[in-house]
Amino acid sequence: MQVTLLAIGTWGDVHPVVALGAALQRTGRHTARLVAPDDFMALAQGAGLDFRPFGLRVRDLLRSPALRPFIAPGGLQELCDHVAAEKQVVATPGIMSRELARLKLPRKKEPSRQSTRHAAGPARPATFVELTETRLNPVLEKLKFLDESGANLGLTRLYGRAAPGERVVESTPGHSGPHYTIVAALSLTGISAPWVFEGSMTSLRFRAYVEQALGPSLEPGDIVILDNLAAHKDAEARTWIEARGAYLIHLPSYSPDLNPIELCWATVKNALRTAKARSFDALVEALREALLAITPAQADGGFAHCGYYPA
């Protein structure tokens, strides 16, 4: 049976419909056709679906000068009505709200301020949003997001279940022992170059990590993205990364929401609490299993959650 699926909206709206179409085709009893904005042709064809475009890109539509007056002073329903009249596409206020938020177009937008930090260097995009759209989204498979997390030998579950009126009883060590730093990189294929050591990250340790773990995993054209921790700004570490033909980009200050690996660390930390490792060897084994459990699908979801979409 031929099944035609209609999807309107952004990545989060269309991706589940594509998954549904792929599942229908795997049964062997149906063929699926997706009708969606032009932005999602590669996604649909990659899943083996017949794709029929609307003839519009949602991203371009919302950025068009004709819609600016509606985006700034008008409400979401007014914007939906305009899109329906101009493009014969039905959109709900929820869809519009998510797309406007992803495009960083609030009703009251502060004037962007050009950073002068790299004024003496080559021209750079005015904002990280522009950098994402012009340089990062077109090469998602080359992005490697790096960050650290912490662990110790006293981790245990934070929550449990008990009958009403009864306490949850759990044993915890009186001393958590040494504290360890875990550092790794996340790409669309999953976690790579994990490292664990006692103590906190320093410039010397970051340099050693880049030289011995991260550097060998890099390929020409890779882009390493990380926060502004002082240790991450070590000049020799940057030289090692660039010697591999890769690039290094720092995220804006105080922006963990732009780093997908933060979501992975939450999953890893929950796994470590469940494992309740009480020795370093047990901790390393639990960490290995937790990192291997991060699938490409989870990585892809983390990228999309943080605003990194295929161009």
Domain 2-102, what fold? Rossmann fold (3.40.50)
Angle among Cα 167, 173, 177 to the nearest 5 degrees reads 150
List Cβ neighbours of 218 (8 Å cut-off, separation of 6 or more): 144, 224, 241, 244, 245, 246
| Beta-strand runs (E) in 43-154 | 50-53, 143-152
Lowest mean pLDDT among 7-21, 59-73, 169-183, 234-248: 59-73
The model's pLDDT over 129-179, given as tens digits with 9 standing for 90+, comes to 888 888 899 999 999 999 999 999 999 988 877 777 888 888 888 888 899
Kindly report, residue by residue over 198-211, the tens digit of the pLDDT: 999 999 999 999 99
234: alpha, beta or left? (left if phi > 0; alpha if psi -120 to 50): beta
Which CATH number applies to 128-305: 3.40.50.150, 3.40.50.10440, 3.40.50.510, 3.30.420.10? 3.30.420.10
pTM of the model: 0.60
Domain with CATH 3.30.420.10 in the chain: 128-305
Q: In terms of C-beta density within 10 A (0-12 exposed, 13-18 middle, 19 or more buried), how is residue 250 classed? A: middle
Averaged pLDDT, 263-276: 94
Average pLDDT over every residue of 5-25: 86
